Amino acid sequence: MRNNEMTHLAKRAVRDSFVKLAPREQAKNPVMLMVYLSAILTLVLFVLSLFGITDSQPGFIIAISAVLWLTVLFANFAEALAEGRGKAQADSLRAAKRDVPAHKLNEGLVAKGHHVDDPAEFFRLQADEVSSAVLKKKDLFYVAAGEQIPADGEIVIGAASVDESAITGESAPVIRESGGDRSAVTGGTTVLSDWLVVRVTADAGHSFLDQMIAMVESATRKKTPNEIALEILLVALTIVFLIVSVSLFAFSGFSANQEGIANPTTITSLVALFVCLAPTTIGALLSAIGIAGMSRLNRANVLAMSGRAVEAAGDVDVLLLDKTGTITLGNRQAAEFIPVDGATEHDVADAAQLASLTDETPEGRSIVVLAKERFGIRARELEGSGMVSIPFTAQTRMSGVDFEGHEIRKGAADAVKDYVESHGGAYSGECAAVVADVSRAGGTPLLVARDHRILGVIHLKDIVKQGIKENFADLRTMGIKTVMITGDNPMTAAAIAAEAGVDDFIAEATPETKLAAIRQYQAEGHMVAMTGDGTNDAPALAQADVAVAMNSGTQAAKEAGNMVDLDSSPTKLIDVVRIGKQLLMTRGSLTTFSIANDLAKYFAIVPALFVPLYPQLEALNIMHLTNPYTAIMAAIIYNALIIVALIPLALRGVKYREASSQSLLSRNLLVYGLGGIVLPFVVIKLLDMMLTALGVA
């Protein structure tokens, strides 16, 4: 984040820190509410001390009160700074959201438009121009190149290039078209080419952009179950220390009366003791940690529909991942030419390249490239050569060329086998064995034939993404099981699963098998995450604990998921899990540190307060602090400053590490547990020395 942006956020957070002093805002955080009330109480005691009503020194009381007010402001600042990031993102989204003209159509016109010669011109002329704010769910509208899409919807007719940079930040345009799993469009994006007829899927004020703005604005964020549970624990500890502080005041008063001396403890000093012993550090930062976790997810271009989903991501131990586009590149590439029945590899490559010259699929282009790289065979010009291209069709499942009296074909093994045999050719046992070997290895065999004689096999291989195996190894270290989902046959699925390093796979997957697998894992006590983009993925997404729907997918998928990936990147699920785990690690680490802090503050204040009554407590004064005033002031100042010191860590998050839960716990206790004990001893002693040097009585 740039310096000027950080300066703006900091100024905004300082202003909001004072706004949050309102009692209604403070009541949202029970732990800090007690500090807030303590600050008010000490301010009242200061006023009373000016009239000689209390027995504490006015200077000491106002100093304690000032530090307590600063403690409350620092806690407010941490939360306001975390919220500021969300508000800044919301402001940029609002800039993208504005009322624009919409070309509304009625159902009858759309049906009629299917049968006219120029549908685009027909829809343009027949549409009624209205404001996008009046569009309702199920309304139809027409949008053309250069126009902003006025509302969320599903494409009914047409295909177009769409600029989604206002939503995703990705400058490259994407193709959206009717039918299939790429039919959803988002209001606020812009059509770059062609035209679309779209059916509205969300009323004004409830669009996807509206949901994004509501989610990134921290004010609308609800506390998660884990956060609520931790808050209950912190409240319980606060009540315990409140009872302890009141009891100590009563004991000291009783002991002072028995000894016939004045009570050395005062209400001000006991208020300071209570604030120092209560878990104020984590209480002050708890909300900021949760907001910052959501913000990190938003910066990764993932919209979480609830904080619960982010926490669930941290607890996930089973990942269901689509093979195509996630584990593999999704485009099968030619890996080798395998000759059969006396042909040479060069013969196979030459014929395969000729048959692929007009094949614009990634597979076809890879065959041409492989032939060139392997044998230096260059593509021949078609123009003027008499070459006749035979396009691929779903019926023949073959393509090829007729060239200089020769017929060259390439295609699926069974299709080429039938073609050759129907023209008197033979399908040999050697060829059948090679086809079986390629299939067993997880590849796709394409046969190449010249003049009804099979020359060999092209091995098409689905390329596993670089680095994905290492990713899965890291996840395994964290105790997360990876499961590949594919429609391939079990033999092919097993080969790719072994190469990618996944723990398990589901072959020949259907929507029913995905749903059944998720339910089975959940019944065994696992937390399951998966991605999806199609309507057929919706049941499984609705069942999964963490369900990341692709923004480019169908409305049904987005409604079923509890997260939406604006970049529509299937591998984003791995990042989501890491962000969720980092959130839980940060919360756990700072909670450990906060509670460990109390031990040092106990040794600082309790001996200083009660040594006059119980001289034996001098043995606990291991820091040898100067006097009760400097001891209490040093502890209460440290209590305030540590909140400020930990704000960057709360916002950035504890550094994520791929390790087992036991390893993370051990490191957490060593760094934040032991560090939480040692640091206060050092800082409080230094503060005591500084206060003594300044002449604090």
Contact 171, 165 (CB under 8 A): yes
Q: Helices 429-440 and 490-500: crossing angle, nearest 10°?
A: 50
- The pLDDT, as a whole number, for residue 86 is 62
Rounded to whole angstroms, the maximal C-alpha distance in the chain is: 123
Between the CA of residue 641 and those of 14, 72, 603, 691, what are the distances in Å? 16, 11, 18, 15
- Give domain status of residue 210, yes or no: no
Calculate the alpha carbon distances from 128 to 136, 190, 692 in Å.
14, 20, 80
- Residue 589's alpha-carbon distances to 488, 593, 674, in angstroms, are 44, 6, 11
Is 181 annotated in a binding site? The answer is: no
DSSP string, 301-338: TEEES-HHHHHHHHH--EEEEETBTTTEEEEEEEEEEE
Nearest to 413 by CA among 448, 363, 389, 442: 448
Say if residue 366 carries a ligand binding annotation: no
Do 621 and 536 reside in the same domain of the chain? no
- In whole angstroms, give the CA distance from residue 25 to residue 64: 23
For residue 406, name the pLDDT band (cuts at 50, 70, 90): confident
Q: How far apart are CA 120 and CA 105, in angstroms?
A: 12
pLDDT for the residue numbered 203: 78
Cβ–Cβ under 8 Å, residues 298 and 217: no
pLDDT at 303: 78
- Residue 573 in domain: no
- Asked if residues 401 and 390 have their Cβ atoms less than 8 Å apart, the reply is yes
pLDDT tens-place string over residues 157-199 = 888 888 877 665 555 677 788 876 677 888 878 888 888 888 8
CA separation for the pair 649, 589 (Å, rounded): 10
Helix (H) / strand (E) element for 388: namely strand 388-390
What is the tens place of the pLDDT at every residue in 317-332?
898 887 766 777 766 7
Residue 316 CB-density burial (10 A; 0-12 exposed, 13-18 middle, 19+ buried): buried
When pLDDT is averaged across residues 532-550 and rounded to a whole number, the result is 82
Q: Is the pLDDT of residue 383 over 50?
A: no
- pLDDT for 121: 81
Residue 397 annotated as binding?
yes
pLDDT (tens digit per residue) in 640-675: 999 999 998 988 888 877 777 678 778 888 889 888
Q: What are phi and psi of 481, to 5 degrees?
A: -90, 135
Pair 438, 505 in one domain = no
Q: Per-residue pLDDT tens for 579-608?
A: 888 888 888 899 999 888 887 787 777 787
42 and 128 fall within a common domain: no
What radius of gyration, in Å, describes the C-alpha atoms of the chain? 35
Non-local CB neighbours of 130 within 8 Å, separated by 6+ positions: 101, 102, 104
**pLDDT at residue number 430:** 92
**222 shares a domain with 84:** yes
609 in any annotated domain: yes
Q: What is the mean pLDDT of residues 123-148?
A: 85
Do 446 and 458 touch, CB atoms closer than 8 A?
yes
- Residue 493 shares a structural domain with residue 444: no
Query: Do 320 and 338 belong to one domain?
Result: no
- Answer yes or no: do 19 and 110 share one domain: no
- pLDDT for 260 equals 63
Q: What CATH number corresponds to the domain at position 172?
A: 2.70.150.10
Who contacts 117 (Cβ-Cβ below 8 Å, separation ≥6)?
A: none
Q: CATH number for the domain including 530?
A: 3.40.50.1000
Percent of the chain with pLDDT over 90: 16
d(CA 183, CA 157): 10
Q: How far apart are CA 209 and CA 202, in angstroms?
A: 11
Distance, in Å, from the CA atom of 92 to the CA atom of 94, rounded to the nearest integer, reads 5
The response to whether 210 counts as a known ligand-binding position is: no
Specify the residue for token string 């002031």.
Answer: 633
pLDDT digits (tens, 9 = 90+) for 544-578: 888 888 776 777 777 788 888 877 776 787 888 88
Catalytic residue among 139, 163, 322, 598: 322
Checking 388-392 for CB contacts under 8 A at 24+ apart, the result is: 389/357, 389/358, 391/358, 392/359
User: Which structure tokens are listed for 317?
Assistant: 């131990």
Distance, CA of 286 to CA of 583 (rounded, Å): 11
Residues 500, 358 share a domain: no
Q: Which domain range does residue 348 map to?
A: 333-461
**Would the annotation count 552 as a binding residue?**
no
Provide the pLDDT for residue 214: 63
CA angle 323, 463, 428 (to 5 degrees): 105
The verdict on residue 59 lying in a domain is yes
Residues 365 and 359: beta-carbon distance below 8 Å = yes
Question: What dihedral do alpha carbons 218, 221, 223, 225 form, nearest 10°?
Answer: -130
Q: Which of 566, 596, 620 is the last residue of a domain?
A: 566
273 phi and psi angles, rounded to 5 deg? -60, -45
Statement: residue 384 has pLDDT above 50: no
Query: 600 and 684 in one domain?
Result: yes
Answer whether residue 95 is part of any domain. Answer: no
285 and 424 together in one domain? no
For residue 445, pLDDT beyond 50: yes
Instruction: Flag the least confident range among 13-22, 165-174, 202-211, 365-374.
Output: 165-174
Q: Please say which residue of 502, 531, 566 terminates a domain.
A: 566
Number of domains making up the chain: 4
Between CA 93 and CA 168 the distance in angstroms is 10
Instruction: Report yes or no on 168 lying in a domain.
Output: yes
Name which of 39-43, 242-246, 260-264, 325-329 the model is least confident about.
260-264
Q: Binding residue per annotation — 533?
A: yes
The DSSP annotation for 618-657 comes to GGG-TT--S-HHHHHHHHHHHHHHHHHHHHHHHHH-SPP-
Catalytic residue check, 322: yes
Strand partners, 651: none
Instruction: Residue 641: name the closest of 280, 289, 292, 288 by CA.
Output: 280
pLDDT per position as a tens digit, 329-366:
766 788 899 999 999 999 999 899 888 877 777 788 88
Number of Cβ within 10 Å of residue 227's Cβ equals 20
Q: 502 pLDDT exceeds 80?
A: yes
Q: What is the mean pLDDT of the chain?
A: 82
Tokens (6 digits) for 440: 């067993």
End-to-end CA distance of the chain: 45
Burial pattern 160-195, b for ≥16 Cβ within 10 A else e, equals bebbbebbbeeeebbebebeebbbbbbbbbbbeebb
Q: Check whether 398 is labelled as a binding-site residue.
A: yes
- For residue 10, CA distances in Å to 73, 88, 424 come to 13, 12, 81
* DSSP category for residue 672: I
| The domain boundary residue, chosen from 511, 536, 566 | 566
Work out the burial of residue 304: count CB atoms within 10 Å of its CB; fewer than 13 is exposed, 13-18 middle, 19 or more buried. buried
Q: Does residue 557 lie in a domain region?
A: yes
Q: What is the pLDDT of residue 219?
A: 43
Residue range 456-471: average pLDDT? 84
Same domain, 681 and 592: yes
Both tokens assigned to 478? 């964290």
Choose between 464 and 2: higher pLDDT.
Answer: 464
The Cα 447–Cα 413 span in angstroms is 5
Q: Is residue 69 part of a domain?
A: yes
Q: Is 537 annotated as a binding residue?
A: yes
pLDDT at 40 over 90: yes
Across residues 488-504, what is the average pLDDT? 83
pLDDT in the model for residue 229: 82
Measured distance CA(129)–CA(75) in Å, rounded? 51
315 is in an annotated binding site: no
190-200 and 302-304 beta bridge pairing: unpaired
pLDDT digits (tens, 9 = 90+) for 414-434: 889 999 999 888 999 999 999
Q: Is 371 annotated as a binding residue?
A: no
The string of DSSP letters for 185-225 reads: E-TT-EEEEEEEEEEE-S-TT-SHHHHHHHHHSGGGPPPPH
CA distance 155 to 200: 9
Which residues share a beta bridge with 158?
196
Amino acid at 333: Q
Residue 67 binned pLDDT confidence (cut-offs 50, 70, 90): very high
pLDDT at 573: 78
Q: Are residues 599 and 681 in the same domain?
A: yes
Q: What is the pLDDT of residue 382?
A: 47
Provide the CATH number for the domain around residue 386.
3.40.1110.10
Using the CB atoms, write b or e for 565-590: b if 16+ within 10 Å. bbbbbbbbbbbbbbbbbbbbbbbbbb
Statement: residue 637 has pLDDT above 60: yes
Instruction: Give the contacts of 421 (CB within 8 A, at least 6 positions apart).
Output: 427
515-523 average pLDDT score: 91
336: β partners: 459
